[in-house]
Amino acid sequence: MAIMNVNPTRMQLSKLKKQLTTAVRGHKMLKDKLDELMRQFLDLIRETRVLREKIEYELSECNSHFVNASAVMSKQSLDASLMSQKQQLTVEVDSRNVMSVETPVFAQSTRTSDDGDIFPYGFAFTSFELDDAVMSLQKLVPDLIRLAQIEKSCELMSAEIEKTRRRVNSLEHVMIPRYKDTIKYISMKLEENDRSSRTRLMKVKDMLLDKAHNYSSH
């Protein structure tokens, strides 16, 4: 029996009962939070799995396009075509609160709105295979950013899940049983003291009655 080192008084009993009520309420809230965190975490894990498979396929397609471009263009021409960029990609980082976890939100933007600026070269001396490679790589970028956002969110939520689980277990298996055991111990002590007090009072009463009876008999 895990009992707290407290004085077995009625005031302490009342205080512990209030603390137990608070602990039980806190346990329920944390358990609900843990359940919701786990639900959202598993949703992200499933999305990550699907997104990874999609990205792996798209990367394979992208690589095939670059291989085809390499087959019809010299290495010098290919390197020169990709050396100077027209477009610039910016990733802005924000956050949103998910069950007290600040998860990242990534948003991409480009320096210009012209779709043609993804090609860092003119079309006169390049092949359509290179165009396909650049376009397939461009289409891949949003998925890569989304994957980075999800994986970082999973990392942060995993840490919060572990912390919340420890708090839930501490309340469920340590604090709440300790409150209950201490309350039970103090209640038993108070009942025992009440019985002792009643016994003493009855003995005193009997003694007074005996004394009064002896006086009256004289």
Rounded to an integer, what distance in angstroms lies between the CA atom of residue 77 and that of residue 84? 12
pTM of the model: 0.76
Q: In which residue are the tokens 């461009």 written?
A: 138
Q: What is the pLDDT of residue 29?
A: 96
Task: Dump pLDDT digits (tens) for 45-85.
Answer: 999 999 999 999 999 999 998 899 888 888 888 887 777 77
| Cα(8)–Cα(140) distance, integer angstroms | 68
Distance CA(24)–CA(12), nearest Å, equals 18
| pLDDT for residue 106 | 94
The count of other CB atoms within 10 Å of the CB of residue 130 is: 23
Residue 123 belongs to what H/E stretch? none
The residue type found at 46 is R
Predicted confidence (pLDDT) at residue 217 exceeds the cutoff of 60: no
Q: What percent of the chain has pLDDT over 90?
A: 54
pLDDT over 70 at 218, yes or no: no
Amino acid at 197: S
**What domains lie within the chain, and their CATH numbers?**
10-158 (1.10.287.3240)
What's the pLDDT at 107?
A: 92
Residues 6+ apart with CB under 8 A from 52: 147
- 9-13, 87-91, 158-162: least confident range: 87-91
pLDDT value at residue 75: 84
User: Lowest mean pLDDT: which of 51-65, 112-126, 142-156, 159-173?
Assistant: 112-126
Structure tokens at 213: 């009876």
Q: Is the pLDDT of residue 102 over 90?
A: yes
